[in-house]
Structure 1
Amino acid sequence: MAWGLVLTAAVFWSVRNDPPTVPEQRDAGQALPALRAAAGAVVEAAQEERWVLRLGELRADECSLTPVRDGVEISRDVTLYVAEGEAREALDSVTAGLPPAYGASVVATRGGTRLSFYADAGEFIAIETMANSADRVLDLHVSTGCRPESAGVDLSDPAAGPVPAELTTMVAAMKATGSGADGGSGSGESFRSAAVPCPSGGTAVVYVADGVSGDASGVPVGVPDGTTPVWSEPGEWAYRNGSESVVVTAENARQRATVTTGCRAG
Structure 2
Amino acid sequence: MSGAVQTGFPPPAGPRPPAPEPRWPRWLIVATVAWAVLLAGLTWVSARKDPPTVREQRTLAEAGPVVDAAIGELIAASWGAVPALVAPDVDRGCRITPFADGAELVRAVDLAVPVGEERAALQEISDRLPTAWRAGVRVTSEGPRLRADAGDFVTVQGRPVADGRIRLTVDTGCRLVGDDYTAPGADTAGAEAGAEAGALAEALRALGSTGIEPEVVVAPCPGGGLARTVRSAAGALTASPQATLAPLAGGTPVVDTGEVYAFRRDGVAVLADLGADEVVLSATTGCAG
TM category, shorter: 0.7 to 0.9
Bigger radius of gyration = 2
CA RMSD of aligned residues (A): 2.9
C-alpha distance in 2 between matches for 1:193 and 1:42: 18
C-alpha distance in 2 between matches for 1:195 and 1:216: 32
Deviations 1:16-74 (A, max 9, x none): xxxxx7562222122111111000000000112xx211111111112222233221111
Shift of 1:242: 4.8
Query: Unpaired segments of 5 or more residues in structure 2?
Result: 1-51
Asked if 2 retains the 8 angstrom alpha-carbon contact of 1:218 and 1:235, the reply is: no
Asked if 2 retains the 8 angstrom alpha-carbon contact of 1:216 and 1:250, the reply is: no
Shift of 1:214: 4.5
Change (3 A) 1:254 1:219: closer
Partner residue, 2:231: 208
* TM-score, reference length from structure 2: 0.70
Shift of 1:172: 1.3
Query: Unpaired segments of 5 or more residues in structure 1?
Result: 1-20, 177-183
Asked if 1 retains the 8 angstrom alpha-carbon contact of 2:158 and 2:168, the reply is: yes
Partner residue, 2:262: 238
Indicate the percent of aligned positions where both proteins have the same amino acid. Answer: 29
Deviations 1:217-250 (A, max 9, x none): 7332334152423234447422222532111225
C-alpha distance in 2 between matches for 1:131 and 1:30: 30
* SS, match of residue 56 in structure 1: strand
Asked if 2 retains the 8 angstrom alpha-carbon contact of 1:219 and 1:234, the reply is: no
Asked if 1 retains the 8 angstrom alpha-carbon contact of 2:112 and 2:271, the reply is: no
Change (3 A) 1:240 1:191: same
Q: What are the residue-to-residue correspondences of 1:1-266 with 2, within 5 Å?
A: 24-25=55-56, 26-48=58-80, 51-61=81-91, 62-110=93-141, 114-131=143-160, 135-151=163-179, 153-155=181-183, 157-159=185-187, 161=190, 162-164=193-195, 165-174=198-207, 176=208, 184=209, 187=210, 189-209=212-232, 211-215=233-237, 218-220=240-242, 221-223=244-246, 224=248, 226-234=250-258, 236-250=260-274, 253-263=277-287
Give the letter for the 2:204 counterpart.
V
Number of residue pairs the alignment of both structures matches: 231
Q: Greater CA deviation, 160-169 or 247-256?
A: 247-256
* SS, match of residue 241 in structure 2: coil
C-alpha distance in 2 between matches for 1:225 and 1:57: 26
